[in-house]
Amino acid sequence: MAQATKPGEFEIIARYFKPLARGEPNALGLGDDAAVLAVTPGKRLVATMDTLIAGVHFLPDDSPAGIAQKLLRANLSDLAAMGATPRWYLLSLGLSETTPESWIAAFAAGLAADQAEFFVTLVGGDTVKTPGPVTVTVTALGEVAPGNELLRSGAKAGDAVYVSGTIGDGYLGLLAAKGELSGLSPSFRQFLIGRYNRPTPRLGLGIALARLGSKDRVHAAIDVSDGLIADLGQICEASGGLDAQIELGQIPFSEAGGVAIASDSTLALKATGGGDDYELLIAAPPAVESTLLELGRAIGVPVTRIGALAEGSGKVRVIGPDGREQTSGPGGYRHF
Ligand code: ADP
Ligand code: MG
């Protein structure tokens, strides 16, 4: 088939990305060298970036809209974990010679849908050709009032550990997507795969936590991307070397996750260590518990206490239903 009509870099930007910048006049229609953004006076700019690479983070024939949404949502989850309100994002596309225009169109359509859902606007980016695998990067920008940002570093001995939503759906969804968990009903498989492909950044909860008054402040927060155990370890380390103890029996699993785990009890620990849940993990003094649980109910995202922090050296212990420490938990995904 003739490729004569294949759009160049500027046509791609004009056709697929300029429409996504319409909501922000200061993006200058993606027609200048850069956007000139007006940060809300008195707010801090919160910036984060994530990259997905074909063959590493997604399969070349995965849905382009799904890839776009997973990329944007992973960034929004980082903003949620800081307590920031998302405003803008930038997009870097490293496309290969053979990427069809239909892929770009579907990718942009995925972004358009999520822009409407999460109230963010594309304000810039870069479009290049790569001899390597397709590589897509989003930089997300949000705002938070100074002092309201949720850090990893403020946790204290005696804090309780809480998690939003359900844990393990990301890990189990990946298994289901790979054709495992064949004993599960189609609707449960679909649910888990959906949670893996289209995570829900907990923006409402993160923003509400950031706005709590000084009496109800949580001490630390992180989003669960590498795995609950590894990410809790990040809070412990950043907070000066605390130890965490979590109860496997308290981990909130979804209905689908619970059924999968009931068929293979080794999955409970694996799901707790696996990544891609994009839930919020929170350290807070026990006195704040009723506020946290109430907030979860009001927002419609349950918050569950799963353990506690103590003086220590940065270790995370998982206690099984028999009261004994579980040993071989996966330590989370690491690139290096
Ligand atoms: P330069 O060569 O000066 O970097 P570009 O041609 O890369 O300019 O980009 C021109 C404009 O288009 C810039 O405002 C840039 O932010 C925007 N842009 C380029 N690629 C994208 C993209 N994939 N998504 C959003 N904006 C883009
Ligand atoms: Mg450029």
Q: What is the pLDDT of residue 329?
A: 46
Q: What is the pLDDT of residue 1?
A: 47
Q: What is the pLDDT of residue 2?
A: 46
Tell me how far CA of residue 298 lies from CA of 9, 83, 224, 288, in angstroms.
46, 17, 22, 15
CB 252 within 8 A of CB 166: yes
Nearest CA to ligand 1 atom 1: 33
Give the span between the Cα atoms of 84 and 144, in whole angstroms.
Answer: 5
Token pair of 111 as six digits:
């972004």
Mutate to test the pocket of ligand 1, among 32, 104, 123, 126 (most ligand atoms within 8 A of CB): 126
CB 228 within 8 A of CB 273: yes
Give the closest residue to 115 by CA, choosing from 81, 165, 76. 76
Ligand nearest to the CA of 127: 1
Give the span between the Cα atoms of 188 and 316, in whole angstroms.
Answer: 30
Token pair of 130 as six digits:
């790569």
pTM of the model as a whole: 0.94
- In the structure, ligand 2 is a single-atom ion and the residues with CB under 5 Å from it are 126
Nearest CA to ligand 1 atom 11: 30
pLDDT tens by residue, the chain, 336 residues: 444 468 889 999 999 999 999 999 999 999 999 999 999 999 999 999 999 999 999 988 899 999 999 999 999 999 999 999 999 999 999 999 999 999 999 999 999 999 999 999 999 999 999 999 999 999 999 999 999 999 999 999 999 999 999 999 999 999 999 999 999 999 999 999 999 999 999 999 999 999 999 999 999 999 999 999 999 999 999 999 999 999 999 999 999 999 999 999 999 999 999 999 999 999 999 999 999 999 999 999 999 999 999 999 999 999 998 999 997 544 555 555
Q: Is 111 in the pocket of ligand 1 (CB under 6 A)?
A: no
Tell me how far CA of residue 334 lies from CA of 6, 98, 226, 275, 330, in angstroms.
38, 30, 8, 11, 11
